Amino acid sequence: MGKGKTRFTVVQMNDTHAYLDIHQEIFWQGDHEVYRPVGGFARIASLIRQIRTENDGGVLFCDCGDTLHGTYPALKTQGEVLVPILNLLNLDAMTAHWEFAYGPKIFQKRVSEINYPMIAINVCDKETERLSYPPYIVKEIGNLRIGLTGIASNIVDKVMPSSYSEGLTFALGREELPSIIDILRSKENVDFIVLISHLGFPQEMKLLSEVQGIDICLSGHTHNRLYKPVFQGKTLVMQSGCHGSFLGRLDLESSSGRIVDYKHQLIEVEEGIEPDPVIEDLIKQALAPYKNGLSEVVGETATALNRGTVLESTMDNFLVQALIDSTGAEVAFSNGWRYGAPVVRGNITLNDLYNIIPMNPPISTVELAGEEILMMIEDNLERTFSHNAYQQMGGYVKRCLGLKVYFKMENPRGSRIQRLFVGSQEVQPERYYTAVFVTEQGVPKKYGRNRKNSSQHAIDALRAYLGKHRPLHAELKGTFVAV
């Protein structure tokens, strides 16, 4: 066990969504948003090298997941394009979420290729009920033993396509965590325990209020920019934005098995940081096969497109406008995804379109009864704003067009919607409405009749819409109004 004073540093990377290179990011300034280029793994590499130089041998670098999925090159190679780059960062451990989108077998192949462990206490083989990944590892820093344990996203088998979780089950981790803490303390004799989690900040805060014994929680999934760490009991919690636009840094001083002092920084991965030349060259090689195609200018926007707002976003208004334009449906739905680097006013490239919806799913149509629309929106509001953090299983509010929803955010499940209009008319429960959507997260399978997949895909619709609307306007419309 560690005696005397010891200093060590924990660095967090979370929700990079495979943004290999520098990209635009949104920042709030007074009463408006501003955009500037940030991020990229070459700059991340330079930052982590500097931090390691400052604290020789005393740095843990952990990844909370959503790393191998989210951009065109990543999806085209099922995450493989990132492996050589990640392997040069000398990470200590990771957990996961969207990595499972390639299917568990493909993700397992990626896990075998990276040079650091994927850890999770809550992912099990459906048949054997055995853990699919190691639940923890132990690292030594000076005279300290530090246990790292992981919780992967628990929503993979609940709200995402079934192929993502084939053969696996995903638990919350609430029942599993106490025994892991006990093993780390009593058998592994660790001084400190770091939880690498992808449950989401509200979920982790609830979990840590119920389970004691974690010293540091590295939070992921919900894209929070915590400019100061938060205490839940005796646990320090930090989360560090998304898209690789930030790193989180905790410099800690310990004495006799207790943290006696700390300093936290949310570090912006600024454009002015000198890129690591080796990583920069690898990124150029990784992007080279796609560069010419993805750099094609496909339109122009007068609206800055982002996903930085919970109830509605300009980026998704562009998407649902294109969906209705392509089908003539009365209403459109898409999932409230959080990821997707902003697109500033000016030219739109094909790469921007793939950042908006990298899966490029087929456009689907369905007939929905008014009562089903009410139920679906109520269910989505519960998954976004549930009083029970464990029931928050979405991203942001479902993206819609053709609707106007007046709702009470604070109300209990099933009673938030006050009024819902389709067009200018209040929704009629028995009437069927034509709807267009993308992915099962847009309209879950349990809703509707005459569900069909079109031969047209999302990128086709976006391109066609840009061809008709130059420049694009996709301002906020007030689709959801909290009353």
- Reported pTM: 0.97
pLDDT at 406: 98
SS3 category, 348: strand
Token reading at 165: 């979780």
Residue intervals in the chain for CATH 3.90.780.10: 297-482
- Expressed in angstroms, the distance from the first to the final Cα of the chain is 55
The 3-state DSSP composition of the chain as helix, strand, coil percent (nearest 5) reads 30, 30, 40
SS3 category, 29: strand
pLDDT at 139: 98
pLDDT at 472: 98
- For the chain, what is the mean pLDDT? 97
Dump pLDDT digits (tens) for 259-302: 999 999 999 999 999 999 999 999 999 999 999 999 999 999 99
In CATH terms, the fold of domain 5-285 is Purple Acid Phosphatase; chain A, domain 2 (3.60.21)
Three-state SS for 255-296 is ECCEEEEEEEEEEECECCCCCCHHHHHHHHHHHHHHHHHHCC
- Measuring CA to CA, how many Å separate 359 from each of 98, 192, 287, 467? 12, 40, 18, 22
Residue intervals in the chain for CATH 3.60.21.10: 5-285
SS3 category, 106: helix
pLDDT at 239: 98
pLDDT at 3: 58
pLDDT at 129: 97
Q: How far apart are CA 328 and CA 363, in angstroms?
A: 12
| Token pair 């990011």: residue | 25
pLDDT at 394: 84
Token reading at 275: 């890129």
Dump pLDDT digits (tens) for 61-81: 999 999 999 999 999 999 999
Token reading at 111: 């896990």
CATH architecture for the domain at 297-482 = Alpha-Beta Complex (3.90)
Average pLDDT for 308-318: 97
Contacts of 32 (CB under 8 A, 6+ apart): none
Average pLDDT for 168-191: 98
Is the per-residue pLDDT at 256 higher than 90? Answer: no
Count Cβ atoms below 10 Å from residue 266 Cβ, excluding itself: 19
Confidence of residue 401 (pLDDT cuts 50, 70, 90): very high
Is the per-residue pLDDT at 455 higher than 90? Answer: yes
Average pLDDT for 361-384: 98
Contact criterion met (CB below 8 Å) for 151 and 95: yes
Q: How far apart are CA 63 and CA 245, in angstroms?
A: 14
Average pLDDT for 217-228: 98
pLDDT at 56: 84
Confidence of residue 426 (pLDDT cuts 50, 70, 90): very high
Contact criterion met (CB below 8 Å) for 355 and 69: no
pLDDT at 413: 97
Average pLDDT for 308-321: 98
pLDDT at 22: 98
Percent of the chain with pLDDT over 90: 98
Count Cβ atoms below 10 Å from residue 259 Cβ, excluding itself: 17
pLDDT at 347: 98
